[in-house]
Structure 1
Amino acid sequence: MAGAAVTESGHSSEAGAEAGSGIGAQISSESTARGTSVRYTPGGEPVRVGRPLVVAIDGPSGSGKSSVSKEVARRLRLAYLDTGAMYRAVTWDCLDRELGLGDSALVEASARALDLELSTSADFEYVAVRGQDVTAAIREPRISASVSAVATNLGVRDELIRRQRALIAAHGRRMVVEGRDITTVVARDAEVRLLLTASEEARMRRRGLQLGGTQTAEQLVQQVVERDARDSTVASFTQAADGVYTVDSSDLDFEETVSAVLDVVQAAVGRPAGA
């Protein structure tokens, strides 16, 4: 996991050398000026069997939140929630019904009335609005170009945060939840809170590869940099809040990033209460 940058905001004390009961892992730690760096050696029983484990992951566009969060959910055998898909579903619904996204009251009403079905499995992506499968449709460029108008609507955010919290509770608080205000708003009491970030150059490159090279440099700037700037007016996802770990994946590949996030999970749940 060379090059990993794993730090925790607001903490400089060393993590415990051995994980707590039932975790089955050894943790080595190094106290640094930036926080506590941790490394996890896997083994033993799955993490916190039968106990709550919410892993809250925030991060900017192109940071790898979705793909990494899904894999972490698979390995930890947790449910998975892509909160961004919910905002995209509201956007699709408004555009499909030709509602003006500039009418904030109308968009909020649409969100509150939304008939939404959403998969919470890391192995099966499915989103339906009013019974119509929109799994692929909500990823289209026209949705990406419009979703910030919905995501910055405070009434919409209130409604979707309510639904997101209900989903977390419905899964017995055993879920990986990813988005833009998860660590600070949706699940600020999560057992694990983490900011996954990367350099702007890395994020632009990843988003371009994700879209199969179909986007111009200007379009990528709009989808990554400009969208983040708009969304940051209502959500905090560029800097870690107090007690939130940061994983910088700029120089990491996918497997290294997943391993770094698993390091954080084991460090967070293994640390004695109050440490």
Structure 2
Amino acid sequence: MSKSLVVAIDGPSGSGKSSTSRGVAERLSLDYLDTGAMYRAMTWALLERGVDLLDSAAVGRAAEDVRLVSGTDPHAPTIHVDATDVAEPIRSDEVTGSVSLVAAVPRVRELLVDLQRTVIRGSSGIVVEGRDIGSTVAPDAQVKIYLIADPSARAARRAAETGLADAAATELALARRDEIDSTRTASPLAKPDGAVVVDSTHLTLDEVIGAIADIVDEAR
């Protein structure tokens, strides 16, 4: 792994990882990698190909032929599948409802972890967000953050992002996602060893970005 600065930000869905990670990268003039978008892009690609997502062997085989390219500019992050811009379609309800199935397949994780490590090695300094960055993708990251928020706050944020009015239903959906992510065999969601826990429940986005930026500056 690269000796350049790597900031790993892990945490459950709805904790504010994406906005926070981009904000930290922008503030500190670092690259940015959204690994969740990569799993969404893989899911979109497999759905487009008509792959049975309940057949893990078929998913693993099909995933080997998908070509993903992730941009690392925090001001304008991009994600392409076979040269097609999929930034919008990967946020569809169908992808959201299927991504945990795809992300749980060991071969998919192997392929995408290799790709993520390649991106990290090619950067002089990067903020990487996901669910297994500090534990699996970049266990030697100089800074590890585990970003959390209480369930109601996470649900309210996700409902606001998606335009859904039913925060209670959103909270149940997030709980199901947490269960799948934390119990899967391959790289389950967990607080990485040595990670600093940051609770964003009662903080503004700027406050969370500032707190993490301070942690990074102290570690440099």
Whether TM-score is above 0.5 comes out as yes
The correspondence of residues 4-23 of structure 1 with structure 2, limited to 5 A, is none
TM value normalised by structure 1: 0.75
Q: Which amino acid aligns with 2:36?
A: G
Q: Is the 8 A contact 1:152 1:233 kept in 2?
A: no
Q: Does 1:164 align with 2:113?
A: no
Amino acid at match of 2:197: T
Match of 1:257 among 199, 208, 219: 208
**1:227: which partner in 2?**
177
Asked if 1:100 is matched to 2:52, the reply is yes
Partner of residue 31, structure 1: none
| Counterpart for residue 130 of structure 2 | 179
Could you tell me how far apart the structure 1 residues matched to 2:153 and 2:38 are? Answer: 26
Alpha-carbon distance in structure 2 between the residues aligned to 1:199 and 1:108 = 34
Which letter does structure 2 place at the counterpart of 1:226? R
Map 1:188-267 to 2 at 5 A.
188-213=139-164, 217-222=168-173, 224-234=174-184, 235-238=187-190, 240-267=191-218
1:194-241 Cα deviation digits (max 9, x unpaired): 10111111101110111123556324421x111111011234434x33
Which blocks of at least 5 consecutive residues in structure 1 are unaligned? 1-50, 270-275
User: CA–CA distance in 1 between the matches of 2:193 and 2:80?
Assistant: 36
Displacement over 6 Å in runs of 4+: none
CA distance in 1, matches of 2:198, 2:40: 26
2: CA distance, partners of 1:152 / 1:242: 22
Q: CA deviation at 1:119?
A: 1.3
Flag the structure with larger Rg.
1
Report SS of the residue matched to 2:50: coil
For the residue of structure 1 that corresponds to 2:183, the secondary structure is coil
Shift of 1:162: 0.5
Task: Identify the match of residue 70 of structure 1 among 16, 22, 40.
Answer: 22
- Specify which structure has the higher proportion of helix: 2
- The question of whether the paired residues in 2 share the 8 Å contact of 1:184 and 1:236 is answered with no
Structure 2 gap segments, 5+ residues each: none
| Deviation per residue, 1:147-182 (Å, 9 max, x gap) | 00001111110110011001100113x110000000
**How many correspondences in the alignment?**
216
